[in-house]
Structure 1
């Protein structure tokens, strides 16, 4: 086998078209890359490092086509005690496919105790305190106050339609999604907001007579703001405010995350700490498209944004990029409404990458992660036990 043939074989393995014989051959050459093969032909295969890089680029290309393979990046020790960074996603997946080896999926994960994905669930609280369960409410007008119509659309969307005569007493409405819920709302000004699981959006039922359109967010939401230069749109979270005129952006401000992330997709926004909060460094900054601000320990920073990863939830996907297992589990727990339990020790480098639909049952997500043979899971009711394999501890 030469280098070109190995790269073609890697693509076949990644798209699951390889035969058992090809899987065995691929395993053999992967062992050569990892340093344990005894017949690596440099003349035919090229230098190990160069071939490894080309091979993994090819694997990544195949993975991007299918978008469902979880990747675990490990540091593999070789004889000289050097460290080789190696992607072993396809290697472990083919090992899991083999009918000759032990199954990588524990018996604890079965259809009996499986958990279905979240869906369009939310509660709307009106200014008078009335609660409306949007999952149970029928499509159509669910409230009519002083010329303001609130309509539930069929596809998990709420729409506010004010008339020119709409006048309401002071008060706010609140849209709340539970864990395992998601919902979108078309606000009175025409702005649209998608609310992720375990989140809430507080807003006035009309923006009439207001100098600025102000809402309050807890959790995560994606915003598409209707342009109105005379009335800036402002999103308040627990420590910051984001001021825009018309733009698309995402804010992640969950209390159990290490900080607040504001990701700009289109337009320009100003991110500022709330008045009264003493900043460490800058108290305000401007974001341009493709940038992301992070607010951690009262400090604002700007970084290049991984846009696909940040707004994957709004597009119905999970995307992880070298992300630690605890961070991944926080997202999974919110969407599947489960609680994760960990052992005392969790490796700091237990990171995964990959992409998969949020519409799959929990067991399907866990099975894919278990294909790495680095981690195992057990489901008991709404409790998810996370168990790293002993060899990674």
Structure 2
């Protein structure tokens, strides 16, 4: 190519690249469109640029521009190709190829720069960790991840301590006639914690959850707690004192058993799953007994019993995401709670998607999202603490 052709090629490459990326001003847009429409030769050159597979692939790789959608819009404007069967001379074909390659290179460079900027402005989002806030009866808040191990407080003869393994312990040291002292253990998004109650029962709290209870636990002959969010209970046997878990709109009564309760406010139902022993779920005057391996789902007062895989239910407790045959948006809510992010869906994402697979909750967020992308289920873009979801 001579010098004039090279300069023209560079100018066209820059203009066409900006045209596809939407970065041109009004005058430059007119310049490109006037050039395209000035001759069938120019329109053919532009069509050949649009047909570059590398250009489309780069647009998919660097998702800051939706090249595929842009190409559809531009092709619709151009209408049917009247020159499809024409053969280009060697000289013109080489020139067209040079423009297409240059356009791809410019967009690739822009994508690479964007990718680097994203790495700088959007640091890797790490998985959640062990942590919680304990609110005592007097209103004092203790950030358990920030205090030393050992004794934290004494309420009504009950000693509250933090162990080195990240567990909260309640021990009755003396009987007291003082009034009931109410405590609340709260996990934020991206936190999980364990508490051993005075009766020896162990409760695991998932992210964005809270457990409220008397520091002595017993109230009027019952061991009563209130759960918001999700918790896994290993209840010590005590035939004289039933263990009652209150959630929004229902109660669960047991004597000694292992079970999981999912009662997040942003979920459409409350799910109680039994691993061993027996539980009785009560809601609006109705009760339902379930056996190990069963789950009772509360749909606004309507109870339904299902046989379930227990691994699916206790995945979070074991440090995993088990997402096989799980509603996609339900799976994304799990991910959002653990990584403390906000999920924003493109309107093209269907409502009936179903996820699959298994992933460790110990991975960084990008690793989890990449695994989902590899299935072809959805695409993601992370901006700060927001995850955009595309189909």
Band of TM-score, shorter chain: 0.5 to 0.7
Deviates more, 1:179-188 or 1:146-155: 146-155
Alignment of 1:1-393 (within 5 A): 107=115, 110=119, 113-208=123-218, 210-273=220-283, 277=284, 283-388=286-391
User: What is the root-mean-square deviation of aligned Cα atoms in Å?
Assistant: 2.0
SS across alignment from 1:341: strand
Tell me the CA shift for residue 370 of structure 1: 1.1
Normalised by the length of structure 2, the TM-score is 0.68
1:226 alignment partner, SS class: coil
Distance 1:209 1:381, change over 3 A: closer
Separation of aligned partners in 2, 1:297 and 1:150: 37
With over 3 angstroms needed to count, the CA separation of the structure-2 counterparts of 1:167 and 1:134, relative to structure 1, is farther
Deviates more, 1:137-146 or 1:334-343: 137-146
Higher relative contact order (CA 8 A, sep 6+): 1
Cα distance in 2 for residues equivalent to 1:360 and 1:372: 17
In 1, the alpha carbon distance for the partners of 2:294 and 2:377 equals: 33
Name the CA distance, whole Å, in 2 between partners of 1:207 and 1:323.
36
Kindly indicate whether the alpha-carbon contact (under 8 Å) linking 1:265 and 1:289 is maintained by their aligned counterparts in 2: yes
Task: Provide the aligned length of Structure 1 versus Structure 2.
Answer: 278
CA distance in 1, matches of 2:219, 2:372: 52
Report if the CA contact (8 A) 2:348-2:390 is conserved: no
1:367–1:285 distance in 2 versus 1, CA, 3 Å: same
In 2: Cα distance, 1:269 partner to 1:298 partner: 17
Specify whether residues 296 and 133 from structure 1 end up closer, same or farther in structure 2 by C-alpha distance, changes over 3 A only. Answer: same
* Structure 1 residues 117 and 168: alpha-carbon distance in aligned structure 2, compared to 1, 3 A threshold: farther
Inter-CA distance 323–207: structure 2 relative to 1 (3 Å threshold): closer
CA distance in 2, matches of 1:316, 1:209: 33
- Unmatched runs of 5 consecutive residues or more in structure 1: 1-101, 389-393
- Secondary structure of residue in 2 paired with 1:206: strand
Cα gap change, 1:240 to 1:315, in 2 (>3 Å): same
CA distance in 1, matches of 2:268, 2:239: 33
Structure 2: runs of 5 or more not aligned:
1-107, 109-113
The answer to whether the 8 A contact 1:110-1:363 is kept is no
TM-score, normalization by structure 1: 0.68
Q: CA deviation at 1:350?
A: 2.1
Greater CA radius of gyration, 1 or 2? 2
Which range is displaced more, 342-351 or 325-334?
Answer: 342-351
| Runs of 4+ residues deviating >2 angstroms | 106-113, 144-147, 164-168, 207-210
Q: What is residue 15 of structure 1 aligned with on the other side?
A: none
In structure 1, the partner of 2:101 is none
